[in-house]
Chains A and B, each alone.
With several copies, the nearest count.
Chain A
């Protein structure tokens, strides 16, 4: 399985949950805390993100950046985790 991750701009996110519903991996959920706008924001709950981009496609606020592991030419699956997970834009 390709391994990926997302970075969500938590201060941009409005907590609409559309990304959460669209994630085939059920990787996303709402934060328990709120951002300055008062919204609980989307956040990566699990490490099973495949970088499928679904969440980013449906995000109305362009709050999601998606990363995917670079496939070597031989298409070896490396499962290195990125050093960041959720970060404020």
Chain B
């Protein structure tokens, strides 16, 4: 059976939204899956917002642009306002806690709210928040394995950044934990 995940990842520029999507895509490609990564581009990005659509599938992907999503990874309020209603019933919404003022009120989807920035600050590297989120997402939707993500990072990151890989791994795990806990508490 064809397995496809259509994911929107959205937030501000600088939060690592686009690279999060690329990491998923790259890992999935390495796993032999079909992938497409489609950023919002051009003046849409004015005001600092950024988003990308990632599709991972066991079959050829038709359109890289879809308008409803299996999962949404949301890193700011404007993105939540925009994409909340676009998550398919039964889908997954992962939000970064500190950036959300008015949370989603949907009841037909699974909602994960991750204090990723808080955790990242604790870890001493604010920029790692996106990996925490990613970990949480992958816990709930294992479209790629964490170990492949780490392998992917190794290939994608320039040598001089390889020392950061353990930190990334830790962040992914923290995210996974949060997601797993959350599942228990819901």
Contact = CB atoms under 8 A, between A and B. Distances in A.
A34 B81 contact: no
Interface centre among A14, A34, A37, by most chain B C-beta atoms within 10 angstroms, is A37
Contacts of B91: none
Interface string B34-65: 00000000000001000000000000000000
Contacts of B99: 34, 38
B101 interface: yes
Query: Which range contains the number of B residues in contact with the other chain?
Result: under 10
B135 to A, nearest CB: 23
Interface in A3-57: 14, 34, 36-38
B115 interface: no
B48 to A, nearest CB: 8
B12 interface: yes
B103 to A, nearest CB: 13
B173 interface: no
Contacts of A34: 77, 99, 101
Interface in B109-132: none
Dominant SS among interface residues on chain A:
loop
Interface centre among A34, A36, A37, A38, by most chain B C-beta atoms within 10 angstroms, is A38
Nearest to A39: B48
B22 interface: no
B81 A38 contact: no
Contacts of B12: 38
Nearest to B76: A38
Contacts of A14: 47
Contacts of B78: 36-38
Contacts of A37: 47, 77-78
Interface string B71-105: 00000111001000000000000000001011000
A38 B12 CA distance: 8
A54 B148 CA distance: 54
B150 to A, nearest CB: 30
Contacts of A36: 77-78, 81, 101-102
The 10 A-B residue pairs whose C-beta atoms are closest, nearest first, are A38-B76, A36-B77, A38-B77, A37-B78, A36-B101, A38-B99, A38-B12, A38-B78, A36-B78, A37-B77
Given A36-B78, A36-B81, A36-B101, 14 more contacts: A14-B47, A34-B77, A34-B99, A34-B101, A36-B77, A36-B102, A37-B47, A37-B77, A37-B78, A38-B12, A38-B76, A38-B77, A38-B78, A38-B99
